[in-house]
Amino acid sequence: MQVIQWDKTALRRINRELQISVDKALFKKVNRILWEVKDRGDLAIRRFTREFDGIDVPLKRLRVSEGEINRAFEKVSVQFVPILKLITENVRQYYEKDLRKSFRIKGKDGVILGKNYFPMNRVGIYVPGGQAPLVSTVYMTVIPAKVAGVKEIALATPPNRETGEIDPHILVVANLLGVKEIYRIGGAQAVAAMAFGTRTVPKVDKIAGPGNPYVTEAKRQVFGYVGIDLIAGPSEVCIVADSTANPNYITCDLLSQTEHFGGLGVLITSSAKLVEIMRRRVDSGFILQVKNMDEACDAANEIAPEHIEIMTEKARTVAGRITNAGSVFVGHYSPTVIGDYIAGPSHVLPTAGTARYFSALSASDFIKSTQIIEYNKESLSRVRDHVRKLTEIEGLVLHRISLEARFADTEKIKDTGISEPKG
């Protein structure tokens, strides 16, 4: 690992490694895919599946059949379903606490303000399947949507390059969670299908889930046609450690990120001994050497990592100072892998420093809100002059008239000579 002394210059070097860059060539390729799917629908999906996945999928097989789902249960071990039930209960319980609730505020003079929350009607979930079928992504995305009350969930995942089939574990998990629509479509073409709709794949309101650079760029480009959860790059972990940390734990956690394409590990430590040990153990990534835990927390918040592990004395205190991170793992026995699979909170997290303004996937990501504003004539009268003044400043005469019309039953509309019509 490359050792760097902490300062703002050092952080810029690390952030360059983490940054999600926009590749012009990739932009053009993805843009071509998106618009061809928008124009030609299922035929374009079939073409791009043949081009990128090496599989010719007949149009009638784009959607996985009930028979295929039923046969998938025969291909998984009997131990899988009980394990899944334990995991999904953890995830469900966490997100039931995460829901926002509608509210009303009754103010003075009869003013009532509030907000109503409603689930989205239809969302699309993307589940990666390139390097390996990410079974955990199914429940880490579907359950928050289900808890939010989403009525229709469409799941897209790429077919196996050799068989053209979907991994049976993905089918089983999706089925047990009540997902009825599953499509053997991957890459940017899957994002395009869900964003624009085709004869086979109805349009969705929002797309969630991680993916390769094509998927990420496609989500970026369709934002506005549909909602998206976040822009995510390669996986990353940042470990804040002092002399109490076990080097073996750190080594294993840093190396685990290398299983993801482009995955990166950063160790932030005040221990010179730990620096000497770790610089020889792991080839990739960075060691950021700091003077104390104050500097460590400052550095971590500047990096704003996807995952951050706190392996220090008084780990809870240190964790309390981390304000920019996707997910914080507190203590020596809270490895990132627990968050990936079983703890409860979703592993769909902001990467590349975007934790400064994005948050982890939540049930609230599948809920939209409607504001409630209710005035009576008395309360409207009390703010009348203030609103009139603002409409004059902005030069919006018709806005002022719409306000004054409410008082035309007792007086002429000020400065217009217009009276409220009778009847």
- The pLDDT-based confidence of 183 (bands split at 50, 70, 90) is very high
The number of angstroms, rounded, from the C-alpha of 120 to the middle of its chain's C-alpha atoms is 15
244/168 same-domain check: no
Catalytic site residue from 306, 309, 347, 404: 306
Q: Are residues 268 and 390 in the same domain?
A: no
What is residue 225's predicted lDDT score, i.e. its pLDDT?
95
Residues 278 and 251 in one domain: yes
Range of the structural domain that residue 191 is part of: 24-98+117-230
- Residue ending a domain, among 184, 203, 230, is 230
Which residue in 236, 307, 309, 347 is the catalytic one?
307
pLDDT of 332 over the 70 cut:
yes
Q: What is the pLDDT of residue 19?
A: 65
Which of 288, 322, 343 represents a domain boundary (last residue)? 343
Share of the chain above pLDDT 70, in %: 94
pLDDT at 218: 96
What is the pLDDT at residue 422? 47
Residue 396: inside a domain: yes
In sequence order, what are the beta bridge partners of 372? 114
| Residue 215 covered by a domain | yes
Same domain, 69 and 193: yes
User: Is 111 part of any domain?
Assistant: no
Same structural domain, 226 and 268 = no
Q: Do 226 and 132 share a structural domain? A: yes
Which runs of consecutive H residues, i.e. helices, occur in 246-322? 247-256, 272-281, 293-303, 315-319
**Separation CA 184–CA 193 (nearest Å):** 12
pLDDT in tens, 251-300: 999 988 878 777 788 999 999 999 999 988 888 888 999 999 999 999 99
* Domain of residue 144, CATH code: 3.40.50.1980
102 has pLDDT over 70: yes
User: Degrees (nearest 5) of the Cα angle 65, 66, 68?
Assistant: 65
3-class SS shares of the chain: helix, strand, coil, % to 5? 45, 15, 35
With respect to residue 359, please indicate whether it lies within any of the assigned structural domains. no
Is 378 in contact with 406 (CB distance < 8 Å)? no
**Same structural domain for residues 244 and 204?**
no
Q: Residue 112 in 3-state DSSP?
A: strand
Place of tokens 């009997």: 78
In a domain, 105, yes or no: no
Q: Answer for the pair 57, 184: CB distance below 8 angstroms, yes or no.
A: yes
Q: Please check whether residues 298 and 257 belong to one and the same domain.
A: yes
Residue 112 domain flag: no
Give the integer Cα–Cα distance in Å for 388 and 162: 69
| pTM of structure | 0.87
Same domain, 192 and 145: yes
> Is 181 a domain residue?
yes
Are 239 and 312 found together in one domain?
yes
Question: For the segment 212-251, what is each residue's pLDDT rounded down to a tens digit?
Answer: 889 999 999 999 999 999 888 788 899 999 999 999 999 9
Residues 94 and 144 in one domain: yes
Is residue 307 annotated as part of the catalytic site, yes or no? yes
399-411 mean pLDDT: 86
For residues 188 and 260, state if they share a domain: no
Q: Is 306 a catalytic residue?
A: yes
What is the rounded CA–CA span in Å between residue 94 and residue 346? 9
Q: What is the total count of domains within the chain?
A: 3
Whether the Cβ atoms of residue 246 and residue 230 lie closer than 8 Å to each other: no
d(CA 16, CA 150): 38
pLDDT at position 421 over 70: no
Strand partners, 269: 241, 289
Domain-located, residue 362: no
Confidence grade of residue 81 (pLDDT, cut at 50, 70, 90): confident
Single residue among 200, 230, 260 that ends a domain in this structure = 230
Instruction: Output 100 or 155, whichever has higher pLDDT.
Output: 155
